[in-house]
Structure 1
Amino acid sequence: MIEYLSIPTSAGVFDAIGAGPHDGRPVLLLHGFPEAAVEWEHQVARLGDEGYRAVAPDQRGYSPGVRPADVADYEMDHLVDDVVALAGALEWSRFDLVGHDWGGAVAWWAADRHPDRLRTLTAVSTPHPRALGDALAGDEDQAMRSQYMRDWRSSDTEKRMLADGGEPLRRMFEWKVPRGRVDDYLARLSEPGALTAALNWYRAGSPKAAIEAVTVPTLYVWSTEDVAFGSTAALATEQWVSGPYEFQMLEDITHWVPEEAPEQLTALLLDHLHRH
């Protein structure tokens, strides 16, 4: 059964969903843009049924209680610190970390900086940042796919995305996410300041320090119809994991893996957790 949680930290109060026994093996799941914790509803519920303690927060800017105004407050250092703060508030000394899209990027950085805190890493869609950086520099296809990251830093992005009743935001989901869920995301991002906060993740710029190879057991799930991340970075991610590594390719699935292919992803995740 899904629970609705409020998790206080030094940065503010995060809204979250959770499931499973409080003494179960802890799993933290991080959502992407332009979504929220509920993108993980299926996985959280299944993990809870399997005896895990699964929690998915609305991340910085998405939780009204953690919505700072400055762009600098959305730099990667702060996003990774939020992961550690959430785990601390939940009294988790060690946990499994799962991330999709922007949540996947945060998960990679958290695994690099806090390997002692993670039991496993699961990244969905988002390749290792160094693999992505190399692809951006040397692969024309990936450079074209990632142009939106630069475009969305402009000051008129909010107006463009919310035009025509938010139709541009709706089209991002490629009709692969249930309409009711998309309505929920649009309502959340239409709240004053919410979309600006979410876009500030893009505007904050690149992390100042370099990320290295990840040492924790890692599952990377990539889908062949992902519009944002091409095969060059996906296949190169293996080079940036020095610990046990598994790569799973989902055929004919778009970027929205947790909601488009919930059963497939959950099965892969559970298998990964069971083996480590």
Structure 2
Amino acid sequence: MGRDDREVAVPDSPTTAAIAFPSIALPSLRLNVAEAGPIDGLPTLVLHGFPEFWYGWRRQIGPLTEAGLRLVLPDQRGYNRSDKPDGIAAYHLDRLAADVIELADHYGFARFRLVAHDWGGLVAWWTAAHHPERIERLAILNAPHPAVFGPYILRHPTQMLRSAYVGLFQIPRLPERRLMADGCAVLRQALLKTSRPGSFTGADLDRYVEAWAQPGAMTGMLNWYRALRLPRARSVPRVKPPTLILWGRRDHALEPGLAEASLALCDAGRIQWLPEATHWVQHDAAEAVNAALVAFLRA
């Protein structure tokens, strides 16, 4: 297992966090991982969404590690420097959730806290529903439960319009060319236009472009969309672990009703709304998100 320990300045944190970057060989593939926090801290896996990678949690690493959490933040399969298996079948939700469990097993986490945003949130919902005995607490940021999305769209045509880009991503090869053109200009602009001013700096976007430009990364990232098969709620176990849903109300892509529908599948959950935050809630409202996560995950 390769290892790279560095002192990395974490934005919005009064201290410098020591972050290690091991390459983890799991039974099915290799993942690039960022580690931070005390070795004996509360085990916590943190999952990014599209089109981010571990760096999407840069504003959370300092505050969460200072609160005593042991953070493991993988670049999920298909992203950045992690393996990018060929074929759409390699990106089904069952396979993505299995990565989470295999990663926890690698670290010896019998039970762990799970924090996730966007696509990582869908994986986290699926993991918590099918492996409740492993999840101590679940925190979801602007991500619907996979089982509520299909029925919600049928009842709310406005959400169907917001999700039209998902259909475009199904086209082979063309989306990759469009998103990679002109230094990933489309994705850069998408992040800037759908977030609050200042949430993404030019230097941040350069880091993202570097990750998107890794060989095979853009196809791997889009294959998550291409592999998605929406289940019915009655076919999915209820979410048993205590659950906190943090939701930015100004989300450009996901309506607040999806948070409420997701909450209905939880045995013990609550929603905390962030009225001024967008889909990129951990960037837009970092201080509020950090405070909410620390209070919930340490409880």
Shift of 1:273: 1.3
The structure-2 alpha-carbon separation of the partners of 1:33 and 1:65, relative to structure 1 and needing over 3 Å to count, comes to closer
8 Å contact 1:19–1:54 — kept in the other structure? yes
Match of 1:245 in 2: 269
Q: Which secondary structure state, in structure 2, belongs to the residue aligned with residue 173 of structure 1?
A: helix
Match 1:190 to one of 196, 213, 216:
213
State the distance in 1 between where 2:119 and 2:241 align. 19
Please tell me whether residue 173 in structure 1 is matched to residue 198 in structure 2: no
Question: Which residue identity does 1:258 align to in structure 2?
Answer: Q
Match of 2:292 in 1: 268
8 Å contact 2:146–2:231 — kept in the other structure? no
Q: Which secondary structure state, in structure 1, belongs to the residue aligned with residue 192 of structure 2?
A: coil
Shift of 1:144: 1.0
Aligned residue runs from structure 1 range 19-34, under 5 A: 19-34=36-51
Aligned residue runs from structure 1 range 28-177, under 5 A: 28-155=45-172, 156-175=174-193, 176-177=199-200
Aligned-pair identity in percent equals 37
State the distance in 2 between where 1:135 and 1:264 align. 28
Shift of 1:265: 0.8
Gaps of 5+ in 1: none
TM-score normalised according to structure 1 size: 0.94
Gaps of 5+ in 2: 1-16, 194-198
Aligned length: 274
Match of 1:257 in 2: 281
State the distance in 2 between where 1:131 and 1:77 align. 17
8 Å contact 2:21–2:33 — kept in the other structure? yes
Q: Which secondary structure state, in structure 1, belongs to the residue aligned with residue 38 of structure 2?
A: coil
Please tell me whether residue 14 in structure 1 is matched to residue 31 in structure 2: yes
8 Å contact 1:61–1:198 — kept in the other structure? yes
TM-score normalised according to structure 2 size: 0.87
8 Å contact 1:121–1:219 — kept in the other structure? yes
After TM superposition, the runs of 4+ consecutive aligned structure 1 residues lying more than 6 A away are none
The structure-2 alpha-carbon separation of the partners of 1:91 and 1:3, relative to structure 1 and needing over 3 Å to count, comes to same
